[in-house]
Structure 1
Amino acid sequence: MKKKLRSQEWFGKKGKDGFIYRAWMKNQGIPNDEFLGKPVIGICNTWSELTPCNAHFRELAESVKRGIIESGGLPLEFPVMSLGETLIKPTAMLYRNLVSMDVEESIRANPLDGVVLMCGCDKTTPALVMGACSVDIPSIVVSGGAMLTGKYEGRNIGTSDIWRFSESVRSGIMTEEELNLAEAGMCRSRGHCAVMGTASSMACMVEALGLSLPGNAAIPAADSNRKVLAQLTGRRIVEMVKEDLKPSTILTRQAFENAIKVNAAIGGSTNFVIHLLAIAGRVGIPLCMEDFDHLSDNIPLIANLQPSGEYFMEDLYYAGGLPAVMKEIKKILHVDCITSNGKTIEENLIYAKTLNKSVVSSVENPFKKHSGIAVLKGNLCEFGAIIKPSAADPYLMQHTGRAIVFENIEDYKLRIDDPELPVDENSVLVLKNVGPKGYPGMPEVGNMGLPKKLLEKGITDMVRISDGRMSGTGFGTVILHVSPETADNGVIAIVQDGDLIQLDVAKRQLNLLVEKEEIARRRTALAAIPNPFSRGYVRLFVEHVEQAHLGADFDFLKGGSGSEVSRDSH
């Protein structure tokens, strides 16, 4: 028996209700027969000129529409709030959950049978996937693609170089004029960051999960094949509606395990952890911080991409894209997982191959032995913290040093370059109050720039600890997502200047070397932290956001709520 289209609950109605639903849509020049049983496909678009990474999405959406029409569907494009990592203050992460709610309610409230999610800049991908999963109608992702590799003085550059340029200017190696020249050559085309930052990691995440067509992650935004993929995606979503292939069918526990393993092999962003946890929470898949550690343990870095390696997303595309990476680690993947094209991963990888061993290596001969995400535990992070070993200096993987504490980001900016700061290369920088509640929104400030006086000595890395995040383009021996956070009265809140902190990545330990009695005494003295925000979304955020080890989603959004509209109208 053919399943009734959801959209017919609107457009198939008789009398007054049907009249209203159809008549007002016809003012856009849509013929009557378009409403007579065609699958209605929503194109969820995060286009915005305030989101430069997604500024080409109106054009890309036209390719999606062509594919939908070719397969007999009715495409209807709709906007949702767009999050541009480079402009939004205080941090785009503050609004990820808001966008997910926007997406969820927009899909549920409208006559849609399937949806194409147009994702690009960092938070747009998890936000749209979280929202669509909560409704659970057929959904598929089109990523916007990475920009072309930047150029400066005859060499390739990408977003990760921003941190290097910044330190070079602060230490006097680079002039402001040279920095301006680098700026002019950084962003040469449409698209998101050219390295394996969070945006590219998210594109790889959805492909590894099976939520996009194979090859989606690596096609550059400027390449005409990006439009081809968008058109093919438009064709495919109509078929997904006919097959009733929903996210809940694709997003199994095994699919999440595949995504974690792929993220390890590509040296993906630390932000991957917090976003995948949130998505898992929406579909009811049990996933915890420790899964990211043991599932990626012993998986080496085989994609030689910045910030952990040398090359760029454009190079990954020429080397065979993400399918080439997945083919190299096929033995450890769940290859029977179904994907959005209706085929298994096994079937999708039949013709995949590596075209450049300098960019994609093998498990037997990797670029780096250690990759993935290491999850730390200890009295400084009862619920966990994370570090990205492939982006850190090996000699700091086991380290003990005295804390230099910054109470908040303003305190850090005020004192970091003070020549009187009692810091040396063995010190451990600790930044408080940048967690989900404390900032609020958990900004990407965890990869703190080093003190100027150490940069001038040639020091390039130190152990840095915070309850915040760092950009996927960042690097260094940086411990992030400390949970509980400062604003939740975690142990990080009572760290003082001079306290000894011990890091042992091999043993997965992060400890404050202070007597238990002293820790208890200091914690007892902590006062309850009131919500400083009296109104609006930020008040809602602080009251309901969960800690980083749970994905920083809202406590009331766990589990999907389905596609049924609570009440009819008219």
Structure 2
Amino acid sequence: MKSDVVTKGMQSAPQRSLFNALGMTKEELSRPLVGIVSSYNEIVPGHMNIDKIVDAVKMGVAMAGGTPIVFPAIAVCDGIAMGHIGMKYSLVTRDLIADSTECMATAHQFDALVMVPNCDKNVPGLLMAAARLNIPTVFVSGGPMLAGRVSGEKRSLSSMFEAVGSYAAGTMTEDQVDEFVNKVCPTCGSCSGMYTANSMNCLTEVLGMGLQGNGTIPAVYSERLRLAKHAGMKVMEMLEKNIRPRDIMTEKAFMNALTVDMALGCSTNSMLHLPAIAHEAGVELNVDIANEISARTPNLCHLAPAGYTYMEDLNEAGGVYAVMNELNKKGLLYTDLMTVTGKTVGENIAGCVNKNPEVIRPIDNPYSTTGGIAVLKGNIAPDSCVVKRSAVVPEMMIHEGPARVFDCEEDAIAAIKGGQIVAGDVVVIRYEGPKGGPGMREMLNPTSAIAGMGLGASVALITDGRFSGASRGASIGHVSPEAAVGGPIALIEEGDIIKIDIPANTINVDVSDEELEARRAKWQPREPKVTTGYLARYASMVTSGNRGAILEIPKAN
């Protein structure tokens, strides 16, 4: 076993003395050491129940003959961090999580791992670590929050942000907003729509790294504790069979993830995270392939904010496996791939029927014949940019309007709430990318302000920052190259006509190549917004191409 180096033989006597200090017995040290990576904390609602999940995992590992040992991983609540400097720190934690988990697992020579994440950057960060470490690993998330109810209608966090915009527009009272505050987030768990956390937890199932229900069983259900126990048992089976993450997270597995991503209508952040996870697994995943997959993959789900169903509804309808089974009716998935269940994808999804065609549309009656995400290119984004097509209203699929240009999120929000943005405008928010932000903030506040002001069906927004899975409307983000490195988005001027054609996968500013080159000759790089601390170090290391924001530092073999 890998752990023999710290538990067996005379050379490990000093290490055994330290295990004795932990209260461990000879019997425990004779078994495989299984690290339980706990993302528990008391500041993230999606993580406040993870202590109970971890206890269940430990029991499962012990029942199957392993010695469970817990160590921590950090996590940021994107909702609490939204709209201020804290959001600059969200994406960067993904790499911190991956790096620190690699350090802990390698320093202590664990034989296997169970990862217990839940929220936005925590899930991809631990998937990156799993691929990098390549020791037997199983994932079990903390689970989604139940939807709230306001005036008899299901609601979620995106409703809360939009309520603030409605209050600014004078269409909601303070008392009505307070009712939303008290009701939209009623339980622990990752926020209840198909936002980034739930997207990545569902895609963990698709990749084959989590058991059935990992992405959809609500956090408050006892069923999730049973799932956690089974995850603990299953990792011991993975160890016995020597099935490792890179045996599971193959190029075909990532193709499956992109396919189900399109069917579910996941967060556009998946277009940042999947390439980064694949990179650690030795697979180079270019997001350009997303349109090819989208062209053949129907969109089967309209979960909030794209529609009025929630994660609990998807769970009751049969979950991720039921969606996969629908897709498999047209042969859209690779089904011969290994998973942490010890079975193939095909064996896993066999017999997983769609129990509610209103939640999961049948394959022959989709919401659209193309997928929920589109990658656009043009003279604004020669590398790429991303839009959650399933959340765009039909009248905004093709849009043309004057640019309203802002060099930071705060200025754009002030203009929106101040009534300076009108129907037909295209709001441009730049210098918010991985380097320029730095940190690539999510733009949920501006999109929520637009929706709250009643402009969601008439105003587009493009940015080199990110869009939350909670965003809806013609919100086009991840514009690459970003403004800070001289990307064309830096050259757009107030009043330029922006042309967006989502069905054609294009986005352009109606300015000649010669004029753009003239503007480029005058463009000057800006001074860094942050010059000290971790954000400054991140900005100096990160690259922001169309494969997502990836730190260019040496990786473990």
TM-score by length of 1: 0.93
1:189-228 to structure 2, matched below 5 A, reads 189-228=187-226
Superposed counterparts of 1:411-450, under 5 Å: 411-419=411-419, 421=420, 423-445=421-443, 448-449=446-447
- The Cα of 1:317 is off from its aligned counterpart by 1.0
- Supply the AA of the counterpart residue of 2:351: Y
- 1:113-124 map, 5 Å: 113-124=111-122
Match of 2:383 in 1: 383
**Whole-Å Cα distance in 1 between the matches of residues 68 and 128 of structure 2?**
22
Q: How far, CA to CA, are the matches of 1:287 and 1:456 in structure 2?
A: 38
> Is the alpha carbon distance of 1:501 and 1:361 closer, same or farther for their aligned partners in structure 2, counting shifts above 3 Å?
same
In structure 1, the residue matched to 2:67 is 74
Counterpart CA distance in 2 for 1:248 and 1:268 is: 24
2:102 equivalent to 1:83? no
- The 1:483/1:412 distance shift into structure 2, 3 A limit, reads same
Matched-pair contact (CA < 8 Å) for 1:446–1:479: no
SS at match of 2:37: strand
How do 1:360-375 and structure 2 match up within 5 A? 360-375=360-375
Does residue 463 of structure 2 align to residue 470 of structure 1? no
Once residues 263 and 523 of structure 1 are traced to their aligned partners in structure 2, the CA distance between those partners, rounded to angstroms, is 37
Q: What letter is aligned with 1:9?
A: V
Q: Secondary structure at the match of 2:258?
A: helix
For residues 450 and 144 of structure 1, do their structure 2 counterparts lie closer, same or farther at Cα, with a shift above 3 Å needed? closer
- Equivalent of 1:11 in 7, 12, 23: 7
Instruction: Name the amino acid aligned to 1:561.
Output: A
**Residue in 1 aligned with 2:266?**
268
On the 8 A contact 2:438/2:536 being kept in 1, the answer is no
Work out the CA distance in 1 between the residues paired with 2:263 and 2:129: 27
Distance 1:132 1:449, change over 3 A: closer
Cα separation, 2, equivalents of 1:389 and 1:326:
20
Secondary structure, in 3 states, of the residue corresponding to 1:329? helix
User: Alignment partner for residue 22 of structure 1, among 16, 19, 44?
Assistant: 16
Taking only aligned residues, the RMSD between alpha carbons, in angstroms, comes to 1.8
Contact conserved, 1:306 with 1:312, CA < 8 A, in 2?
A: yes
Matched, 1:242 2:237: no
Equivalent position of 1:561 in the other structure: 556
Query: Structure 1 residues 48, 465: CA separation in 2 closer, same or farther (over 3 Å shift)?
Result: same
| Distance of aligned partners of 1:130 and 1:137 in 2 relative to their CA distance in 1, 3 Å threshold | same
Please say if residues 107 and 132 of structure 1, whose CA atoms lie closer than 8 Å, have aligned partners that are also in contact. Answer: no
User: Could you tell me how far 1:457 is from its partner in structure 2?
Assistant: 7.0
The CA deviation at 1:275 is: 0.3
Residue deviations 1:254-279 (CA, integer Å, cap 9, x gap): 10000001011111110011000101
Residues 156-190 of structure 1 deviation map (CA, whole Å, 9 limit, x = unaligned): 11123124322321222211111111111112211
**Distance in 2, Cα, partners of 1:459 & 1:34:** 58
Are residue 35 (structure 1) and residue 35 (structure 2) matched? no
Structure 2: distance between partners of 1:125 and 1:468? 20
Separation in structure 1 between the aligned mates of residue 527 and residue 308 of structure 2, nearest angstrom: 46
Partner of 2:516: 519
Alpha-carbon distance in structure 2 between the residues aligned to 1:339 and 1:58? 26
* 1:307 and 2:302 aligned: no
Distance 1:516 1:447 in 2: 33
Letter in 2 for 1:411: D
Report the 3-state secondary structure (helix = DSSP H, G, I; strand = E; otherwise coil) of the residue aligned with 2:139.
strand
Question: Distance in 2 between the 1:456 and 1:192 partners?
Answer: 27
Q: Note if 1:64 corresponds to 2:62.
A: no
| Corresponding residue number in structure 2 for 1:149 | 147
CA distance in 1, matches of 2:65, 2:163: 51
1:546 corresponds to: 543
Structure 1 residues 42 and 327, CA gap change in structure 2 (3 angstroms): same
Q: Which letter does structure 2 place at the counterpart of 1:276?
A: L
**1:482 aligns to what SS in structure 2?**
strand
The CA deviation string for residues 289-320 of structure 1, in whole angstroms up to 9 with x for no partner, is 11111112232221241122221101111111
| Cα 1:324–1:105 shift into 2, 3 Å | same
1:488 aligns with 2:485: yes
Cα pair 2:448 2:471 within 8 Å, conserved: no
Contact persistence 2:252–2:334 (CA under 8 A) = yes
Deviation at 1:150, TM superposition (A): 0.6
Specify the SS of the correspondent of 1:480: strand
Write the letter of the residue equivalent to 2:3.
S
Which one-letter code corresponds to 1:416 in the other structure?
A: I
Say if 1:459 and 1:353 are closer, same or farther in 2 by CA, change over 3 A: closer
Alignment correspondent of 2:353:
353
| Contact map agreement 1:482 1:548 (CA 8 A) in 2 | no
Distance 1:414 1:501, change over 3 A: same
* SS of equivalent residue, structure 1 residue 401: strand
- Give the aligned residue type for 2:556: S
CA contact (8 A) 1:299 1:363 kept: no
Superposed CA offset, 1:464-498 (max 9, x none)? 11101111111111111000101111010111101
SS in 1 for 2:87: coil
Matched to 2:43, the amino acid is L
Q: What TM-score, normalized by structure 2, do the two folds share? A: 0.95
Structure 1 residues 284 and 181: CA distance shift in structure 2, 3 A: same
Quickly say closer, same or farther: Cα 1:144–1:451, change in 2 above 3 A: closer
The 8 Å contact of residues 46 and 190 in structure 2, kept in 1 or not, is answered as yes
Partner residue of 1:55 out of 30, 48, 58: 48
The aligned amino acid for 1:23 is S
Contact kept, 8 Å, 1:384 with 1:482, in 2: the verdict is yes
**Secondary structure, in 3 states, of the residue corresponding to 2:140?**
strand
The equivalent residue for 1:568 is none
Check whether the contact 2:436–2:529 (CA below 8 A) recurs between aligned residues: no
SS of the equivalent of 1:553 reads strand
Query: Where does residue 566 of structure 1 map in the other structure?
Result: none
Q: 1:237 to 1:414 in 2, by over 3 A?
A: same
Structure 2 residue aligned with 1:97: 95
Q: Could you tell me how far apart the structure 2 residues matched to 1:157 and 1:446 are?
A: 16
Aligned AA (2:166): S
In structure 2, do the counterparts of structure 1 residues 476 and 20 end up closer, same or farther at CA, with 3 Å as the change threshold? same
Q: Distance in 2 between matches of 1:96 and 1:281?
A: 14
